[in-house]
Structure 1
Amino acid sequence: MAVSTELPEELERFVEEEVERGRYNSKSELLRDALRLKMVEREFDTRGIEGRIGEKLEDVLKDVNVEDAES
């Protein structure tokens, strides 16, 4: 899939420098890598939120008296 986008001057300069320094073979390679990193970051954030919700739920539930809750 071909994608075309306009980048702010600062980002365009960064992309060009990374390619010139040999860290990436092309602008496309850098952008693919950046998108993969963003996907991993989002997955990590989602798992982190789910983990914190689970921890808080456990804290709340350990303070609940089952007998009181049933009456």
Structure 2
Amino acid sequence: MSILVDKNTRLLVQGITGREGSFHALQAAKYGTQVVGGVTPGKGGTTHEGIPVFNTVEEARRKTGANAS
């Protein structure tokens, strides 16, 4: 299975405030991916490295229009 990422990909990172999630979110952004939000239960309403954090994937998808996770 291949995953195609292009200029229209809007990425949502699950576990963005953890060590691995944070690392991969920042690397993706560094290489040009639109990281539009992250999810960490209990940390919704905050930001992490300038990226909005949501409590649930459903809420994040609705508010950001993310089309990849």
- TM-score, normalised via structure 2 length: 0.30
User: RCO greater where, 1 or 2, for CA within 8 Å and sep 6 or more?
Assistant: 2
Q: Higher helix fraction: Structure 1 or Structure 2? A: 1
Q: Higher strand fraction: Structure 1 or Structure 2? A: 2
- TM-score, normalised via structure 1 length: 0.30
